[in-house]
């Protein structure tokens, strides 16, 4: 059974700081891994999708990496801004049953 864990559960940083969010998964037989952000009371917004054959994906100030062998993915946010404050979730899609398992998320607060 795939378990997805995100550490830390919450993170508070001053504006302008670079930060890393962590995601680990127990079953390395994944098809892809996707990062999302969720603002309070809202749905999820897709940030980045990394296929199992890829090592990283970049979009603007965001960079996501994937190490399947160690069951880890990281989301790097450069020069953080107050508008980045949200909960960030990762989700791993299993190969065998296409099931997508979500982590509990990291609640990020960027202070002005």
Task: Spell out the residues 6+ positions from residue 22 whose beta carbon is closer than 8 angstroms to its own.
Answer: 6, 7, 8, 72, 73, 74, 106
Stretch that binds other proteins, among 9-17, 20-28, 68-76, 101-109 (CB under 8 A): 101-109
Stretch that binds other proteins, among 18-26, 35-43, 61-69, 75-83 (CB under 8 A): 35-43
Q: What are phi and psi of 48, to 5 degrees?
A: -150, 145
Of 33 and 80, the one with the shorter C-beta distance to other proteins is 33
Dig out the tokens for 90 from the structure: 């990762």
* Minimum separation from the CB atom of position 112 to other proteins (A): 27
Stretch that binds other proteins, among 9-17, 18-26, 37-45, 67-75 (CB under 8 A): 37-45
For other proteins, the binding residues in 68-97 under the rule CB under 8 A are: 89, 91, 93, 97
Give burial (CB, 10 Å; 0-12/13-18/19+) of 66: buried
């Amino acid at each position: 059974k795939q378990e997805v864990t995100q550490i830390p559960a919450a993170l508070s940083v001053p504006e302008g700081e670079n930060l890393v969010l962590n995601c680990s998964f127990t079953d390395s037989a994944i098809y892809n891994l996707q990062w999302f952000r969720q603002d309070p009371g809202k749905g999820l917004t897709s940030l980045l999708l990394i296929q199992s054959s890829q090592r990283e994906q970049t979009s603007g100030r965001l960079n996501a990496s994937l190490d399947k062998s160690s069951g880890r993915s990281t989301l790097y946010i450069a020069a953080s801004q107050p508008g980045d404050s949200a909960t960030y979730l990762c989700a791993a899609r299993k190969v065998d049953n296409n099931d997508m398992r979500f982590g509990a998320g990291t609640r990020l607060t960027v202070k002005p």
